[in-house]
Amino acid sequence: MKSIRNKSVIVTGGTKGIGKGIAGVFAELGARVCVLGRNEPDGAATVKALQGRGSTAIFCRGDVKEQGDMEEVMATVAAEFGGVDILCANAGIFPTVKLEEMSESAWDDVFATNLKGMLFSIKAALPQLKKSAAGRIVLTSSITGPLTGYPGWSHYGATKAGMLGFMRTAALELARFKITINAVLPGNVLTEGVSDLGQAYIKTMAAAIPLKRLGTVQEIGYAVAFLASEEAGFITGQTLVVDGGQTLPESLQALDSE
């Protein structure tokens, strides 16, 4: 993935978790990286760590739910880095609410961040991506929704499946600009957000994964970097599951058989 060197990359939700891992992989590959999020101390710490390893990185404060924020960030990055080649639309939230307790505001909050936020970041980046010789959009969807379900995540799963529905039409509309759009579908990855779900959740999940561990944020970052590379230039509108085999077993027996 030598083609990533010197590319200008924006990672939404890059201040922690999977986004921080994605930003780290791009920085390692020689890209110039903008980490986007709302939390300034987290953003500053992430950028400091990347710069400490000799990378070009900046933090831009922005809320993906605000179209104006996204337009401002794209303008800043275009001015700092001379354009935008790669957008990683990764910011997302996953609060748990059972169907019977689901309020309109709980539903709307998840949709506003995970789906509308994805749209606003893509719309704002498009003028810059169109100018790139190899514009790329990579979405962070999930196995939850497109492939699996989990109690408490009906709204979340709907947004993550919705991202893929959006992607398939976007791929057609963006092809004329030579922009590709693809999605990674992470399984369970050890992040700050997942740590907040508790040790019992993490232990149960690790047991349900054939590789018997959660993924690392870097492992998601490498999959994203591949889809963003020029080497992946003929792939668009596709999904890449990165889940340690979690979605494979037909039964518990299949999972534990020697």
What residue ranges bind ligand NAP (CB under 6 A)?
Answer: 12-13, 15-19, 37-39, 42, 63-65, 90-94, 113, 117, 140, 142, 186, 188-189, 191-194
Q: Is 36 helix (H, G, I), strand (E, B) or coil?
A: strand
Closer to ligand NAP by CB, 83 or 92: give it. Answer: 92
| Beta carbon of residue 80, minimum distance to ligand NAP (angstroms, whole number) | 19
User: Residue 184: enclosing H or E segment and its boundaries?
Assistant: strand 180-186
Q: How far is CA 200 from CA 85, 190, 195, 206, in A?
A: 40, 13, 10, 10
- Cβ–Cβ under 8 Å, residues 43 and 49: no
Pairing mode, if any, of strands 180-186 and 32-37? unpaired
> Would you say 39 or 51 has its CB closer to ligand NAP?
39
* In contact, 171 and 181? CB cutoff 8 Å: yes
CA distance 239 to 66: 27
- Residue placing its CB nearer to ligand NAP in the complex, 135 or 221: 221
Q: Which two tokens stand for residue 26?
A: 């791009």
3-class secondary-structure state, position 195: helix
**Shortest separation between residue 252's beta carbon and ligand NAP, angstroms:** 21
Q: In 3-state terms, what secondary structure has residue 182?
A: strand
CB of 242 to ligand NAP, least distance (A): 9
156 is catalytic: yes
* Residue 236 burial (C-beta neighbours within 10 Å; 0-12, 13-18, 19+): buried
Closer to ligand NAP at the Cβ: 7 or 160? 160
Number of DSSP helices (H) and strands (E) in the chain, helices first: 10, 7
Q: Which of 150, 156, 201, 222 is catalytic?
A: 156
Q: Which is nearer to ligand NAP, 66 or 230 (CB)?
A: 66
- Determine the length of the chain: 258
Q: How near is the Cβ of 89 to ligand NAP at its closest, in Å?
A: 8
In the beta sheet, which residues pair with residue 82?
none
CB of 82 to ligand NAP, least distance (A): 24
H/E run at residue 24: helix 17-28
Q: Which residues are catalytic?
A: 156
